[in-house]
Amino acid sequence: MKKIIIVIALIVVGLLGVLVFNTLMLTSKQVLSEKLDEIEISDDIFQNLSNGLKYRTISYGEDISPDSAAFYGFHSFLEETFPLIHSNLTLEKINDLSLLYTWKGADSSQKPLILMSHQDVVPVDKPTLGDWEAGPFAGEITDTHIIGRGSMDDKGTLIGLMEAVEKLLEESFVPEQTI
């Protein structure tokens, strides 16, 4: 029995030795990136997200129709805020409230790419209203946050995508593949 324990202990020590040796021998295989030019970004991006959060684009579920006026208002906001997108990309409205933008790529043989987000938010639980730093649709800008329903799920992503595409269009960028 004692010999078996000694053999197991030696095997464990041997395995640990191999693991420690292999760990110490690892080197980074990180590919060096090219230096990027610094991009000048306007502070308007913060205000744009703040303004987008003020639209009560609430989705209550499949059985209750959303407030179409809130969504149409949000659509108008997007059109005013991102004019290059609306003059250079094709916009298709699906079921009146969903938006599908198509940005034609230079090489039609390449498979298209999709970037997705959504403009609706879930309702606010009324008992939690007192827990909010600011109103759920205030879009209040603090030193560290922009507070509002949808800032993280998912109007933040939507506005971020729109800001990026608008900036690329401003620089006359044409994607290789359709987006």
Residue 110, domain member (yes or no): yes
Q: Which two tokens stand for residue 58?
A: 């609430």
Residue 8, domain member (yes or no): no
Residues 150-176, buried b or exposed e (16+ Cβ, 10 A)?
Answer: bbeebbbbbbbbbbebbbbbeeeeebe
106 burial type by CB count under 10 A (0-12 exposed, 13-18 middle, 19+ buried)? exposed
CATH number at residue 140: 3.40.630.10
Whole-model pTM: value is 0.78
Residue 38: C-alpha distances to residues 43, 48, 65, 170 (Å): 15, 21, 45, 15
**Structural domain count of the chain:** 1
pLDDT tens digits, 128-151: 888 888 889 999 999 999 999 889
Rounded Cα distance, 31 and 109, in Å: 29
| Chain mean pLDDT for the chain | 93
pLDDT tens digits, 61-78: 888 889 999 999 999 999
Residue 57, domain member (yes or no): yes
